[in-house]
């Protein structure tokens, strides 16, 4: 029986014109060096795999598939990097958020261990692609610092270093308070760790570079091509946009936090939150010299975390959780500025040049999932705010699995779909309740 998923604007589809990106353009849209190589779809097309979503997942998959001789067509209603991939803060962090012991408990000893091993290597794929395709994205391989604001947080950081070191992954070490004050240029934290494999980059340049790489391997990448309907025709799929239909043997939905109505299993298992980022103007040299002299990326151990680093022009960009519906005015970024000043009082009076926001896709178990809800239809989503490296690596993994006809249980990812979440408005209320609880816990433990 053919199955049709059809979107109507009233029902679910992203309203690209109303997205907060239009009112609050990001730092990256002003500073990206790579240009967008995509064009809108105009007319019908055929390919082996149609990919919905031109972020790191979709483009990583297209590159992996094209390398195996499988033709791909990537469709995005916005443009490559329109979603999280062009708006994030640009920290390249390896590993799942959950530790190896938690992964083993949740997914079985052997499978959890395979996931932890895979997680430790995900940033290698980012560095390899940037190198192979000479992507100009201001990559700084200077490390990632995870500082703790209290003793309970410090214990969680210490456990991470202990487990990763026991597992034989080099590169992590603790940093004592005095050295941390020097490295961060802030007295806000009591200790932390550094992962020397961490990095930062211009995320929109990276996304555009991946699009260029996919096209150079033969992929078609189409901007301004919103998919309004996917239709299982038994012998393949038709993927409809307003200006043309793509017929393909298989479909990958790589829409993460921007999944909207195309596939019920994605809708059931994805919660979204906005995270807001601000960037100062390029700082005067004397102030810039006091902040992150080693140019690392930072995100702290808070459950509702603060994250920041310096861009290539010497701005500080700083982010934390926004509200559920997204920003409506500059005031919706005031709490981000207050957080930044609590860490860096020396930034008082520095003008804020950019404010922007994007959605993060969460799953119920805080781990990204690959799923195949129907034969020929694949999904990959739920990076929980850690997608620069993870989504790139998941994309490659899914691309390979689609060509080799692997079962999901054979991949180092959760061996089942993401848990179902309550429907709206309960889901949104749950997110608000958990956010408030986490803020409370962050204050006391």
Residues in the chain: 445
Number of Cβ within 10 Å of residue 173's Cβ equals 11
Is residue 48 within 8 A of residue 74, CB to CB? The reply is no
List the structure tokens of 228. 């309004």
**Which of 20, 70, 87, 95 is in the footprint of ligand FAD by CB under 6 A?**
87
List the structure tokens of 2. 């053919």
List the structure tokens of 18. 């109303």
Q: Minimum CB separation from ligand FAD for residue 365, in Å?
A: 16
Residue 57 vs 186, nearer CB to ligand FAD: 57
Residue 219 vs 262, nearer CB to ligand FAD: 262
Whether the link from the prior residue into 425 is cis, omega within 30° of 0, is yes
End-to-end CA distance of the chain: 54
Residue 319 vs 414, nearer CB to ligand FAD: 319
**Which of 387, 399, 412, 417 is in the footprint of ligand FAD by CB under 6 A?**
387
**Which of 24, 28, 82, 107 is in the footprint of ligand FAD by CB under 6 A?**
82
**Which of 20, 24, 49, 58 is in the footprint of ligand FAD by CB under 6 A?**
58
**Which of 47, 91, 352, 370 is in the footprint of ligand FAD by CB under 6 A?**
91
Is residue 304 within 8 A of residue 432, CB to CB? The reply is no
**Which of 21, 38, 71, 89 is in the footprint of ligand FAD by CB under 6 A?**
89
**Which of 72, 84, 212, 332 is in the footprint of ligand FAD by CB under 6 A?**
84
**Which of 28, 48, 50, 55 is in the footprint of ligand FAD by CB under 6 A?**
55
Kindly determine how many residues on this chain lie close enough to bind ligand FAD according to the rule CB under 6 A.
45
- The footprint of ligand FAD on residues 274-333 (CB under 6 A) is 275, 277, 307, 319
Is residue 25 within 8 A of residue 50, CB to CB? The reply is no
Taking CB atoms, the residue at the shortest distance from ligand FAD is 387
Number of Cβ within 10 Å of residue 369's Cβ equals 25
Residue 52 vs 154, nearer CB to ligand FAD: 52
Q: How far is CA 226 from CA 70, 163, 230, 317, 419, in A?
A: 23, 44, 11, 31, 27
Site string for ligand FAD, 152-191 (x = CB under 6 A): ----------------------------------------
Q: Residue 327, SS3?
A: coil
The interface region with ligand FAD, picked from 61-69, 70-78, 147-155, 160-168 by CB under 6 A, is 70-78
Residue 72 vs 89, nearer CB to ligand FAD: 89
- The footprint of ligand FAD on residues 201-260 (CB under 6 A) is 226-227, 254-258, 260
**Crossing angle of helices 122-132 and 203-216, rounded to 10°:** 70
Query: Dihedral angle at the C-alpha atoms of 388, 15, 419, 49, nearest 10 degrees?
Result: -70
Residue 82 vs 318, nearer CB to ligand FAD: 82
Burial of residue 33 (CB within 10 Å: 0-12, 13-18, 19+) is: middle
Contact status: 358 vs ligand FAD (CB under 6 A): yes
Residue 153 vs 326, nearer CB to ligand FAD: 326
Is residue 203 within 8 A of residue 388, CB to CB? The reply is yes
Residue whose entry in the numeric block shows the structure tokens 């803020």? 439
Residue 423 is classified by DSSP as P
Question: Which residues bind to ligand FAD, rule: CB under 6 A?
Answer: 14, 52-58, 75-78, 82-85, 87-91, 93, 226-227, 254-258, 260, 262, 275, 277, 307, 319, 358-360, 383, 385-389, 391
């Amino acid at each position: 029986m053919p199955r049709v998923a059809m979107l109507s604007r009233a029902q679910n589809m992203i309203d690209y014109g109303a997205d907060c990106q239009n009112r609050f353009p990001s730092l990256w849209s002003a500073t990206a060096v790579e240009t967008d190589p995509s064009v809108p779809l105009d007319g019908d097309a055929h390919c082996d795999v149609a990919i919905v979503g031109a972020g790191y997942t979709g483009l990583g998959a297209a590159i992996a598939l094209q390398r195996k001789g499988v033709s791909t067509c990537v469709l995005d209603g916005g443009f490559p990097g329109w979603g999280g991939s062009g708006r994030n803060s640009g920290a390249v962090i390896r590993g799942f958020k959950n530790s190896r012991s938690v992964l083993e408990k949740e997914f079985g000893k052997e499978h959890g261990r395979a996931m932890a091993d895979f997680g430790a290597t995900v940033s290698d794929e980012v560095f390899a692609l940037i190198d192979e395709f000479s992507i100009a994205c201001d990559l700084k391989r200077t490390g990632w610092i995870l500082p703790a604001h209290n003793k309970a947080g410090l214990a969680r950081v210490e456990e991470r270093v202990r487990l990763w070191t026991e597992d034989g992954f080099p590169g992590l070490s603790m940093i004592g308070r005095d050295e941390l004050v020097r490295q961060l240029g802030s007295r806000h934290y009591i200790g932390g760790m550094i992962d020397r494999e961490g990095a930062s980059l211009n995320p929109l340049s990276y996304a555009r570079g991946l699009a260029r790489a996919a096209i150079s391997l033969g992929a078609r990448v189409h901007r301004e091509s919103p998919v309004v309907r996917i239709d299982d025709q038994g012998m393949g799929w038709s993927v409809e946009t307003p200006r043309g239909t793509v017929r393909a043997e298989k479909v990958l939905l790589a829409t993460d936090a921007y999944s909207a109505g195309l596939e019920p299993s994605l809708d059931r298992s994805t919660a979204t939150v906005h995270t807001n980022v601000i960037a100062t103007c390029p700082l005067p040299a004397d102030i810039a010299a006091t902040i992150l002299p080693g140019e690392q990326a930072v995100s702290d151990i808070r459950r509702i975390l603060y994250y920041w680093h310096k861009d290539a022009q010497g701005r500080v960009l700083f982010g934390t959780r926004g509200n559920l519906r997204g920003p409506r005015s500059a005031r919706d970024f005031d709490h981000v500025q207050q957080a930044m000043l609590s860490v860096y009082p020396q930034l008082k009076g520095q003008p804020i040049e950019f404010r922007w926001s994007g959605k993060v896709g969460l799953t119920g178990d805080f781990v990204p999932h690959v799923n195949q809800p129907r034969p020929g239809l694949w999904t990959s989503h739920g990076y929980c705010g850690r997608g620069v490296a993870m989504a790139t690596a998941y994309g490659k993994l899914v691309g390979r699995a689609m060509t080799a006809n692997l079962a999901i249980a054979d991949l180092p990812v959760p061996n089942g779909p993401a848990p179902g979440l309550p429907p709206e408005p309960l889901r949104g209320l749950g997110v608000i309740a958990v956010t408030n609880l986490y803020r409370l816990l962050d204050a006391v433990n």
